[in-house]
Amino acid sequence: MSTGNMNLTLKVWRQKNANIKGAFVTYKAEGISPDMSFLEMLDVVNESLIHKGEEPIHFDHDCREGICGMCSLYINGHPHGPKNAITTCQLHMRTFHDGEIIVIEPWRAAAFPVVKDLAVDRSAFDRIQQAGGFVSVNTGVTVDANEIPIPKVIADEAFNSATCIGCGACVAACKNASAMLFVSAKVTQLGMLPQGQPERYSRVQAMVAQMDAEGFGNCTNTGACEAECPKEIKMTNISRMNNDYFSAKLFREEATHDHAGGE
Amino acid sequence: MTLDAKIPKGPLAEKWSKHKFDLKLVNPANKRKYDVIVVGTGLAGGAAAASLAELGYNVKAFCFQDSPRRAHSIAAQGGINAAKNYQNDGDSVYRLFYDTIKGGDYRAREGNVYRLAEVSVNIIDQCVAQGVPFAREYGGLLDNRSFGGSQVSRTFYARGQTGQQLLLGAYSALNRQIHLGKVKMYTRTEMLDVVTIEGHAKGIVTRNLINGAIETHSGHAVLLATGGYGNVFYLSTNAMGSNVTAAWRAHKRGAFFANPCYTQIHPTCIPVTGDHQSKLTLMSESLRNDGRVWAPKTKEIAEKLRKKEITAAQVKEDDRDYFLERKYPSFGNLVPRDVASRNAKEMVDDGRGVGGSGIAVFLDFADAINRLGKDAVAAKYGNLFDMYYQITDEDPYSQPMRIYPAVHYTMGGLWVDYNLSTNVPGLYALGECNFSDHGANRLGASALMQGLADGYFVIPYTLGDYLATIGPKPVDVKHPAFEKTKQDVLAYINKLLALKGTKTVDEYHRELGLIMWEYCGMARTEAGLTKAKGLISALRADFWKNAIVLGDNEEVNSSLEKAGRVADFLELGELMVDDALARRESCGGHFRLESQTPEGEALRDDEHFAYVAAWEYKGDNQPEVLNKEVLDFEFVHLTQRSYK
């Protein structure tokens, strides 16, 4: 089924599960077309492994159009590979040259344990969102949408933060494995909008507390997260989050109601 | 069997209000005595799980992805329709209803579609309250754009990522309930069967995708919101993991499968480049607001374009055929999807296709860029243009996009009544998983609307009626039906793991896809479909002899996961062909070459085919039985659809 003429050497991290030590294994990827996506190249390698009765390389992937946030490969030292502002599934083989050696690893962070090979467990991200990444509004108890006018610049800014796909590239890129870019994107989106104001300060405290509990590191302003983010989320989100967090700690009450815990 | 859709009597505009009043209620103190299972966490499932938990029910939610936020609703681009009439351009609930019925080529239920249009306005309010950052005007109010099949602007959007923003809204509501302990979330867990006791759905059997554990879960009701089955074609705009397994296994436990042959081929997707291709990428219909679709007027010019002797920009205005604008002056480029797709195919069949393969037409933004400026076009469609560039290595700001139709959505699905209940009591189907609201063709920006309508505003009412009827007595998890179903699932898995042949599961899937695309795609004939039936049947037999499935159950095993899904697609494919054969008319996305108007449009046969085809499973390798639900049109006059 191969249709191209590129031949590559892959050094791929193989690890059976979270409890067994992993190691790099070398594979040949032959007859690769420059029009293939990176994941299609791995599909080709996997098909040949299956034909040989060998276990295919496991990696997370789903939508293959850069929006679900599932794919998560650390390629040649960069989350989502060498190109800026795209996910692994949008990376195409024309970015590489014939004969190249490509090193493929999973996200590396204590809070993201390896599930198998290149797939990691990112449920810590869900738990941070569960701690406070919402507006407490039940279905049906709302006003007409146009009764909440929002200046276009604010709406656009909130949208820019809301584009986060939760892939974890920011954590993988950070030498401290910090999740601050991810957390601050949601804090900023809701903190900028009028709908998010009532819980603005309890939210930031609850989310930061959960982030710390999950074992993510701290931010030391290197900026690798912003540089590697496939959705170009800006570090100014982190500044906003810090601002809200300190305001909350200095001047506000402790986290209350929904954000404080179960019923 | 007589199918009762349970559409309430009375005037169209009063049906839903009256029905809501007639439904039984579960009192607030009793709601916590009920367990509800929700499978799938996209717009329909996520919204349903959150809303039911808010009401007080105990919800167990399941998804096969690593997080509920990754359900494929996330990839919807263009927008969501709602009859708000914020543009003062003549929209109304009735107009949205009418456009949707007509767009579906008069093969949907009036009652359902009217309700959909009615609750559409509540959806926008709900999403805004959650903090969904829809596009806005400078005055701070919500912006709209136009979509195919309507002449008003009623589509709300968030750049080209509306699905993402709506799903993250539903995900946030779900997260709140998980945090409150009202929803127990199971990720990386795939549903493999439904447990029924005395004819009622009482639970499911799942496989943990990390350690292979086969588990049973009980509930007073089971809601399937597991999406569509477009991946039966292998190449589609669906996510790689999208599959029919949950719906299909429910079908094999008695739930009827309705109108399986109604598939939507979306006109504007990035064309296939080679055999390696794993999926196709949509370019949002919203692009047809500003992009103009054309092909060269002659084969000779097309040939020069294909050989790259000339560029698109060098083709003179007089040598271009803006075929949609020419044939459909009132709707122009914004005709419904089925019409736009068939016309693109006609151009290619006529030898006027472009691109290296000749299987594409142009979608050109040169006029829009001249009129509005590059920045304004980028602000509206930037992320789509970037995506196109990444995939094709061509800059759509300086040369037209090449586009071609691709499988995108399936209007068919599990048969449900007005309450979203399948014919198996206690088993419900929501969103794309059911068949109910789009007839034979879905209009753009209506999938998000239906998913959220079902999840936020329909099921929270209708489910209560069933639960109040059966009462809060706990489901007996010791009932032998649970163990029996679990053993069935294990036996099936072992049968798959025993396959040690010579062909990979993906190879079978790709072959199935080619058969479906060739004979059950944009144009279908009696002879072609009959041939396809034989081919699929042979392929399925071969699969169960020669497929390779590696590894064990008790580990992460993508080979096993895929094998189960493809085995189900192989069965579904045959049913789709049966359905397409039985429907000897053209309607919407189902185009039988034997049934067309002199202008080449879909020609319905209302006298014989104004029904829902609900297929009943009769056992392995037995022909399925066709049950018909006759569609009554009380309020709308059936006409030949015209967009001229």
Interchain pair B51, A139: CB under 8 A = yes
A194 → chain B, closest CA residue: B131
Write the burial class of residue A253 (CB in 10 Å: 0-12 exposed, 13-18 middle, 19+ buried).
Answer: exposed
Pairwise CA distance, residues B132 & B126, whole Å: 9
Amino acid identity, position B134: F
Q: Which residues of A touch B65 (CB under 8 A)?
A: 62, 68, 70
Same domain, A185 and A91: no
* Residue B324, min C-alpha distance to chain A (Å): 28
Interchain pair A130, B141: CB under 8 A = no
Question: Of A116, A133, A164, which residue constitutes the final position of a domain?
Answer: A116
Q: Which residues of B touch A51 (CB under 8 A)?
A: 502, 504, 548
Interchain pair A47, B279: CB under 8 A = no
Pairwise CA distance, residues B176 & B162, whole Å: 21
Structure tokens at A154: 């604010």
Same domain, A222 and A247: yes
- Among A37, A65, A115, whose Cβ lies nearest the Cβ of B556? A115
Q: Give the list of residues 6+ apart from residue B473 with CB closer than 8 angstroms, or none.
A: none
pLDDT tens for B87-130 read: 999 999 999 999 999 999 999 999 999 999 999 999 999 999 99
Structure tokens at B445: 């920006």
Same domain, A162 and A49: no
The answer to whether B579 and B260 have CB atoms below 8 angstroms apart is: yes
Pairwise CA distance, residues A242 & A254, whole Å: 16
Q: Which residues of A touch B558 (CB under 8 A)?
A: 56, 58
What is the distance in angstroms between the CA of the first residue and the CA of the last residue of chain A?
A: 56
Same domain, B505 and B610: yes
Q: Which residues of B touch A134 (CB under 8 A)?
A: 130, 172-173, 175-176
* Residue B419, min C-alpha distance to chain A (Å): 19
What is the tally of structural domains in chain B?
Answer: 2
Whether residue B175 is predicted with pLDDT greater than 60 in this model: the reply is yes
Report DSSP letters for B149-168, one per residue: T-SS--EE-STT-HHHHHHH
* Residue A176 structural domain: 122-260
Interchain pair A51, B548: CB under 8 A = yes
Radius of gyration of chain A (CA): 21
Question: Of B407, B428, B457, which residue constitutes the final position of a domain?
Answer: B407
Same domain, A194 and A93: no
Interchain pair A43, B278: CB under 8 A = yes
Select the residue from B278, B510, B550 to test the A interface by mutation, using most A Cβ atoms within 10 A: B278
Select the residue from B31, B51, B65, B66 to test the A interface by mutation, using most A Cβ atoms within 10 A: B66
Interchain pair B278, A44: CB under 8 A = no
pLDDT at B134: 96
Whether residue A42 is predicted with pLDDT greater than 70 in this model: the reply is yes
Q: How far is CA B299 from each of CA B326, B340, B341, rounded to the nearest angstrom?
A: 18, 20, 20
Q: At A67, is the pLDDT very low, low, confident or very high (cuts 50, 70, 90)?
A: very high
Structure tokens at B90: 């003549």
Interchain pair A116, B556: CB under 8 A = yes
A208 touches B at CB < 8 Å: no
pLDDT at A253: 61
Same domain, B402 and B508: no
Q: Which residues of B touch A139 (CB under 8 A)?
A: 47, 50-51, 54, 126, 173, 456-457, 460
Interchain pair A130, B273: CB under 8 A = no
Pairwise CA distance, residues B565 & B243, whole Å: 6
Write the burial class of residue B366 (CB in 10 Å: 0-12 exposed, 13-18 middle, 19+ buried).
Answer: middle
Closest C-alpha among B540, B520, B486 to residue B214:
B486
Q: What is the pTM of this model?
A: 0.97
**Residue B247 exposure: Cα atoms within 13 Å on the Cβ side:** 32
What is the dihedral sign for C-alpha B317, B319, B323, B328?
Answer: positive
Pairwise CA distance, residues B344 & B359, whole Å: 9
Does the residue B444 lie in any domain?
no
Pairwise CA distance, residues B581 & B524, whole Å: 9
Residue keyed to tokens 């009735």 = B94
Same domain, B376 and B277: yes
Q: At B554, is the pLDDT very low, low, confident or very high (cuts 50, 70, 90)?
A: very high
* Residue B328, min C-alpha distance to chain A (Å): 32
pLDDT at B414: 98
Question: Of A116, A133, A167, which residue constitutes the final position of a domain?
Answer: A116
Q: Give the list of residues 6+ apart from residue A240 with CB closer than 8 angstroms, or none.
A: A184, A187, A188, A191
A44 touches B at CB < 8 Å: yes
Same domain, A232 and A160: yes
Using DSSP, state whether B622 is helix, strand or coil. coil
* Domain CATH code at residue B517: 1.20.58.100
Q: How far is CA B311 from each of CA B173, B298, B399, rounded to the nearest angstrom?
A: 50, 15, 8
Complex-level ipTM? 0.96
Using DSSP, state whether B80 is helix, strand or coil. strand
Does the residue A80 lie in any domain?
yes
Question: Of B359, B383, B407, which residue constitutes the final position of a domain?
Answer: B407
A150 → chain B, closest CA residue: B140
B337 in active site: yes
Q: Angle of helix A236-251 relative to helix A200-213, nearest 10 degrees? A: 110
Determine how β-strand B257-258 pairs with β-strand B361-364: unpaired
Q: Which residues of A touch B382 (CB under 8 A)?
A: none
Same domain, A223 and A99: no
pLDDT at B469: 97
Does the residue B39 lie in any domain?
no
* Residue B551 structural domain: 489-630
Interchain pair B555, A35: CB under 8 A = no
pLDDT at A3: 62
- pLDDT-wise least confident of A254-263, B16-25, B354-363, B380-389: A254-263
* B569-B242-A173 Cα angle (round to 5): 145
Whether residue B310 is predicted with pLDDT greater than 50 in this model: the reply is yes
- The three state secondary structure string of chain A is CCCCCEEEEEEEEECCCCCCCCEEEEEEEEEECCCCEHHHHHHHHHHHHHHCCCCCCCCCCCCCCCCCCCCCCEECCEECCCCCCCCHHHCEHHHCCCCCEEEEECCCCCCCCEEECCEECCHHHHHHHHHHCCCCCCCCCCCCHHHCCCCHHHHHHHHHHHCCCCCCHHHHHCCCCECHHHHHHHHHHHHHCHHHHHHHHHHHHHHHHHHHHCCCECCCCCCHHHHHCCCCCCCHHHHHHHHHHHHHHHHCCCCCHHHHCCC
Q: Which residues of B touch A6 (CB under 8 A)?
A: none
* Residue B643, min C-alpha distance to chain A (Å): 32
Question: Of B364, B389, B407, which residue constitutes the final position of a domain?
Answer: B407
* A158-A160-A163 Cα angle (round to 5): 105
Same domain, B508 and B624: yes
A2 → chain B, closest CA residue: B276
- Among B136, B163, B506, whose Cβ lies nearest the Cβ of A155? B136
* Marked catalytic residue, from B109, B145, B207, B337: B337
Interchain pair A263, B173: CB under 8 A = no
Select the residue from A57, A60, A68, A161 to test the B interface by mutation, using most B Cβ atoms within 10 A: A68
The answer to whether B334 and B511 have CB atoms below 8 angstroms apart is: no
Q: Average pLDDT in the B526-546 region?
A: 98
Interchain pair A65, B387: CB under 8 A = yes
Does the residue B344 lie in any domain?
yes
The answer to whether B285 and B340 have CB atoms below 8 angstroms apart is: no
Does the residue B561 lie in any domain?
yes
Select the residue from A63, A71, A161 to test the B interface by mutation, using most B Cβ atoms within 10 A: A63
* Domain CATH code at residue B391: 3.90.700.10
Same domain, A18 and A46: yes
Q: How many residues does chain B have?
A: 644
Radius of gyration of chain B (CA): 24
Same domain, A216 and A87: no
Same domain, A126 and A96: no
pLDDT at A259: 54
pLDDT at A262: 39
Q: Average pLDDT in the B433-441 region?
A: 97
What is the dihedral sign for C-alpha B474, B476, B482, B483?
Answer: positive
Same domain, A206 and A222: yes
Q: How many residues does chain A have?
A: 263
Whether residue A2 is predicted with pLDDT greater than 70 in this model: the reply is no
- Among B241, B390, B457, whose Cβ lies nearest the Cβ of A90? B390
Same domain, A129 and A241: yes
Closest C-alpha among B66, B35, B71, B89 to residue B168:
B71
Same domain, B399 and B524: no
Does the residue B398 lie in any domain?
yes
pLDDT at B203: 98
pLDDT at A78: 98
Does the residue B465 lie in any domain?
no
Write the burial class of residue A116 (CB in 10 Å: 0-12 exposed, 13-18 middle, 19+ buried).
Answer: buried
Same domain, B401 and B527: no
Does the residue A223 lie in any domain?
yes
Q: Which residues of B touch A91 (CB under 8 A)?
A: 390
Does the residue A1 lie in any domain?
no
What is the tally of structural domains in chain A?
Answer: 2
Q: Which residues of A touch B457 (CB under 8 A)?
A: 139-140
Same domain, A17 and A127: no
* Domain CATH code at residue A193: 1.10.1060.10
pLDDT tens for B20-50 read: 999 999 999 999 999 999 999 999 999 999 9
- Among B159, B165, B550, whose Cβ lies nearest the Cβ of A50? B550
- Among A37, A92, A162, whose Cβ lies nearest the Cβ of B133? A162
Does the residue A35 lie in any domain?
yes
Question: Of A90, A116, A142, which residue constitutes the final position of a domain?
Answer: A116
Neighbouring-strand partners of residue B142:
B136
Does the residue A26 lie in any domain?
yes
Pairwise CA distance, residues B611 & B604, whole Å: 12
Does the residue B452 lie in any domain?
no
Q: Average pLDDT in the B578-593 region?
A: 97
Same domain, B274 and B370: yes
A129-188 residues touching B, CB cutoff 8 A: 129-140, 142-146, 148-152, 155-156, 158-159, 162-163, 165-166
B242 → chain A, closest CA residue: A62
Whether residue A261 is predicted with pLDDT greater than 50 in this model: the reply is no
User: Among residues of chain B, what percentage have pLDDT more than 90?
Assistant: 95
Q: How far is CA B121 from each of CA B47, B130, B155, B428, rounded to the nearest angstrom?
A: 16, 15, 11, 24
Pairwise CA distance, residues B204 & B217, whole Å: 5
Q: At B383, is the pLDDT very low, low, confident or very high (cuts 50, 70, 90)?
A: confident
Closest C-alpha among B370, B353, B358 to residue B291:
B370
Same domain, B501 and B396: no
Whether residue B407 is predicted with pLDDT greater than 50 in this model: the reply is yes
Neighbouring-strand partners of residue B155:
B81, B145
Same domain, B493 and B403: no
The answer to whether B267 and B291 have CB atoms below 8 angstroms apart is: no
A253 touches B at CB < 8 Å: no
User: Among residues of chain B, what percentage have pLDDT more than 70?
Assistant: 100
* Domain CATH code at residue A32: 3.10.20.30
- Among B274, B506, B558, whose Cβ lies nearest the Cβ of A47? B506
Interchain pair B274, A116: CB under 8 A = no
pLDDT at A254: 57
Whether residue A260 is predicted with pLDDT greater than 70 in this model: the reply is no
